[in-house]
Amino acid sequence: MARRSLAPLALAVAATVVALALCFHPASAQSAWLDEFRTDGVVRSDFDASGKQVASLVLDENSGAGFNSTEKYLFGEFSVEMKLVPGNSAGTVTSFYLTSGEGDEHDEIDMEFMGNSSGAPTVLNTNVWASGDGKKEHQFYLWFDPSADFHKYTIIWNAKNIIFRVDDVTVRAFRRYADLPYPDARPMAVHATLWDGSYWATEKGKVPIDWAAAPFVVSYRGYTANACVARGGGGRTSCPAGRNEWMDRELDDTDRLTVAWARRNCLQYNYCEDGWRFPDGFPGECSRE
């Protein structure tokens, strides 16, 4: 009798333990987003108090670090929360970007964060490459300290335009024009890196890394990709069902206001105003913005 009466109690206790484990350790296949990536260098993985997986990249004098997606995509919306290197991060470069590879004809969409001396604003460098044609940078001073807490960074890429967002605020859109290069045919993988960019990152290379402050650490969490996955050759893709507003996403009235605000208050470099870099004339899209 006692043995039979204890069985339901044991099952109830076991179920309670499992429920508590899920409450206090909610990490799952869905939240363990780093499983979708290959890693390089020192990449630490942990879970924060809310159950979000945190991937931390470590840079020292011996090596940088990074991760890249096992899947390649052709259009999508890609977001991640990042907490950048604190203190004197001069010379370091942290990135979140898409690329089709390293060839001369490669496509790429960049969000790069250029390190700074303590107290100086952090520069976000946005860039687009199409069929090996790049040099399309807009650089913005961030209006907050990106090392004090996590902030969300988003790339929306579709057949009409590429939209860059910071904490759900649109700061730039790169439009497609039928007669100009645009990344629309080469599937791209998602990458994140932390590396020594002393030769250009801070004040055009004037301020190198202070290795006495190493190791440098940047953390990523909350990664999401709502995107069409490339399946073999021939341009075949598998697109997610459901809410895919990004497929036709263009700037709305609110976006246009925030882009104008970012240009007035945060833009510190615009390739379409760099006559020294383009002595033979600006790229075609510059006269159409």
> Is the pLDDT score of 136 beyond 60?
yes
- State the catalytic residues: 108, 112
Output the pTM of the full model. Answer: 0.88
Query: What distance in Å separates the CA atoms of residue 115 and residue 84, rounded to the nearest whole number?
Result: 9
- Confidence tier at 114 by pLDDT (50, 70, 90): very high
Q: What is the pLDDT of residues 13-63, one digit of tens each?
A: 344 433 434 333 443 434 799 999 999 999 999 999 999 999 999 999 999
Q: What is the pLDDT of residues 177-202, one digit of tens each?
A: 999 999 999 999 999 999 999 998 88
Which stretch of DSSP H or E encloses residue 166? strand 161-166
Structural fold of domain 33-273: Jelly Rolls (2.60.120)
> Is the pLDDT score of 10 beyond 50?
no
Give the pair of three-digit tokens for residue 76.
């999508």
- Vertex 100 angle, CA 271 and 186, to 5°: 95
pLDDT at 16: 41
Tell me which of 245 and 141 has the higher pLDDT. 141
What DSSP character marks residue 79?
A: E
pLDDT at 13: 38
Q: What is the pLDDT of residues 209-230, one digit of tens each?
A: 999 999 999 999 999 999 999 9
CB of 192 within 8 A of CB of 80? yes
pLDDT at 137: 97
Give the pair of three-digit tokens for residue 20.
């508590």
Q: What is the pLDDT of residues 54-100, one digit of tens each?
A: 999 999 999 999 999 999 999 999 999 999 999 999 999 999 999 99
Which stretch of DSSP H or E encloses residue 6? helix 2-24
Strand partners, 60: none
Say whether 63 sits in a helix, a strand or coil: coil
- Confidence tier at 154 by pLDDT (50, 70, 90): very high
